[in-house]
Chain A
């Protein structure tokens, strides 16, 4: 990566556009083309631990370069490119800022297993999930029971995500066995997040 600007040869921060001359770069598209990664698009180090404030700053800075508002008079082709670039940038930020999406992407990027490959969960964990579901079904929104469960789930989540971050920091080698462990943690996290959404969603509704 890090090819210079096609117009003024300045060093590029983001592969989407040149911060010096403001020209929108051509970004490879279509199957087989090597697409810039979400981290590259935002000029962030590829890592599990990120600085959300920095990510937000980069989003805003690069949106200033690619937002279609600035290409309204530039003709259809440039306008379409700005639309596509801005959409890419938005997608990159959404992925980078979301811990689950970020971890999932890193595992796949490093050649680790997919969600389905390690989809089978241990019996003991599934029993736990069933207990949460029971509490979710039997208790009225706003009840103390649900509040307790929400707190428990939050702590559970923090613990699991802490393990994920630790395992991915520093970033393991491609294909490292630890990626298997991370995938298992992420699969467990999906159950926790689903229960958490039900618990807080139930609390928020009406």
Chain B
């Protein structure tokens, strides 16, 4: 395995940075190697991790393929598509989506989405962290054991601040340093641009498992400048599945008991059957929706033609095309100005999607690059840039949504317009409107709507410590800074007095700093517990071997050892047998150590015997 390069000077492994496409359905690592990005492979197969977490009865979690294999047998405890809940309140989620889920989703006391498995609740960040950890583990295997500490992680371009922040928190929980959050279509364009060596205006159409983005870029002299982006973070293959699930339900409605549709087994079965038919319809003119659950009185076998399928999903595809039109307008371009169209994401395999995109842009889209791999490849290329490997390429990205503050009348005042290039800073002046006012509250918003209530609430913060003075005299500068990850930091200071004012930020949809710390602690505790558990099991196995060996030679011991040593040994054996059932690591460890010590005299006798036997009949010089 040639991936771990050693720095000759201090003989330390070089820092390994990978690119990770953290997808709704699948996640994939890639790395820069020999001047180009490549997907990491294990035994020739991409190190792909299905974004599925299964929690077993004992509370331990498994991730990826083995987790996905549990989908039908244990649907309630097998979580898919958690990306759709990142940075979301339960009220953000379409109730119809919840009605199709085989697992339980409720809200925290702050209204955030939580996923309930057995008697534990997980935040989407924690589940994503488990997926990221597995991706890093797979990447490590693919690279012959190199430790993955840092990564570039991709997110949908249309992710808002809370969703980006949630992704960053997930990486933190997974113990991965995020070098950069990169927008998926931007990453894809980078991989495409590097591969095809083409320049001009490019439209990237990215329809994945759960999210949709379109970005318009200009590629010139190695500069990839995003001109505009648009999308929908709740539009993807899952929604196509949902259309087919509704068809299954219609068919089953007559014969099945009403409670059937709430049952996790039904929901998971219908989802997987729909997914299967959807995939078949991409290559065949017709497919069958098949779901047989005799225990519920469900026996669906429905033929569906490509035409019927197309008609059913047209509203979804139309939504994506509408976003394309908006993105073009925001870029100040027309379809004739677009030189290339690049398709990204598994859902762009749907023929209707391809046809509609082709019709809208008036040109055949590019499909040379694997739509499932191109985002991870771009992330790896970005990792290389960040590591200082290349200064020829530069990504200039934009923020997808406008940012602003709520004004007194409940309107949204925009400070940063959508499609502004990042990083970006804007400072706006505010003042007090009551004599002696010492605090001002701000409500930070994201979105395009006119009224604050219709925009996304990112958080509220309170500036305190303003010295008392007549109304209108205080000069408070509020600074919005969007960093290169597209994540917002708000700072404020009172300028006329020079007195420091402090800010308290309450995120509306994200985890607070304390919550992240608690989760981090828990994950350390869990890691410690996991480690201790493994050690206990190993020790018990070791005790077992020692006991077998000792008891087999107990007669030898009784014959050759003094009474005291024999008694010690017998006591140690009894204690070790009891400890084999203990759940306390300390007890098991102590019993093993006592047994180990008590067997020393016996070992000496046995050794002696072995030596005598070995040298018997041999001359001293042969030994």
Contact = CB atoms under 8 A, between A and B. Distances in A.
Contacts of B386: 69, 72-73
Contacts of A64: 223, 391, 394
A63 B391 CA distance: 11
A87 B424 contact: yes
B483 interface: yes
Interface in B350-408: 382, 385-388, 391, 394-396
Contacts of A73: 386-388
Interface in A33-79: 60, 63-64, 67-70, 72-73
A68 B420 contact: no
B90 interface: no
B396 A67 contact: yes
Interface string B166-199: 0000000000000110000000000000000000
Contacts of A87: 423-425, 481
A90 B483 CA distance: 12
B225 interface: yes
Interface residues of B, number: 27
Contacts of A90: 420-424
A68 B391 CA distance: 12
Contacts of A204: 329
A64 B393 CA distance: 9
A84 B425 contact: yes
A69 B424 contact: no
Contacts of B426: 91
Given A63-B394, A73-B387, A68 B421 contact: no
B226 to A, nearest CB: 12
A70 B425 contact: no
Nearest to A90: B421
Nearest to B427: A91
Interface string A93-121: 11000000000000000000000000000
B221 A60 contact: yes
A129 B414 CA distance: 25
B298 to A, nearest CB: 41
A180 to B, nearest CB: 25
B394 A69 contact: yes
Q: Place the interface of chain A in its size category.
A: 20 to 34
B488 to A, nearest CB: 12
The A contact surface, by secondary structure, is: helix
Given A83-B481, A87-B481, A94 B388 contact: no
Interface in A154-206: 204
B420 A94 contact: yes
Given A60-B221, A90-B423, A70 B391 contact: yes
Contacts of B221: 60
B495 interface: yes
* B225, B387, B391, B423: most-surrounded residue (chain A CB, <10 A): B423
A60 B222 CA distance: 10
A31 interface: yes
B484 interface: yes
B329 to A, nearest CB: 7
A86 interface: yes
A69 B179 CA distance: 9
Contacts of A88: 425
Contacts of A84: 423, 425
Contacts of B495: 31
A69 B484 contact: yes
A55 to B, nearest CB: 13
Contacts of B422: 90
A72 B425 contact: no
Nearest to B322: A206
Nearest to A86: B423
A10 B30 CA distance: 41
Nearest to B391: A70
B403 to A, nearest CB: 14
A4 B229 CA distance: 39
Nearest to B221: A60
B580 to A, nearest CB: 52
B425 A67 contact: no
A83 B483 CA distance: 7
Contacts of B424: 87, 90-91
A119 to B, nearest CB: 18
Interface in B457-505: 481, 483-484, 495
Contact of B225 (A31, A60, A70, A72): A60
Given A63-B394, A90-B421, A204-B329, A69 B180 contact: yes
A31 B395 CA distance: 32
Interface in B406-446: 420-426
Contact of A69 (B225, B329, B395, B425): B395
Contact of A63 (B220, B382, B385, B396): B396
Interface string B89-101: 0000000000000
B388 A70 contact: yes
A31 to B, nearest CB: 7
11 contacts: A60-B223, A60-B396, A64-B391, A67-B396, A68-B484, A69-B395, A70-B388, A73-B387, A73-B388, A87-B423, A88-B425
Interface of B: 179-180, 220-221, 223, 225, 329, 382, 385-388, 391, 394-396, 420-426, 481, 483-484, 495
Given A67-B396, A69-B394, A204-B329, 10 more contacts: A31-B495, A67-B394, A69-B386, A70-B388, A83-B423, A83-B483, A84-B423, A90-B422, A91-B424, A94-B420
Interface of A: 31, 60, 63-64, 67-70, 72-73, 83-84, 86-88, 90-91, 93-94, 204
Return the 9 tightest CB-CB contacts between A and B, nearest first.
A72-B386, A87-B425, A68-B484, A90-B421, A87-B423, A83-B423, A86-B423, A87-B424, A60-B223
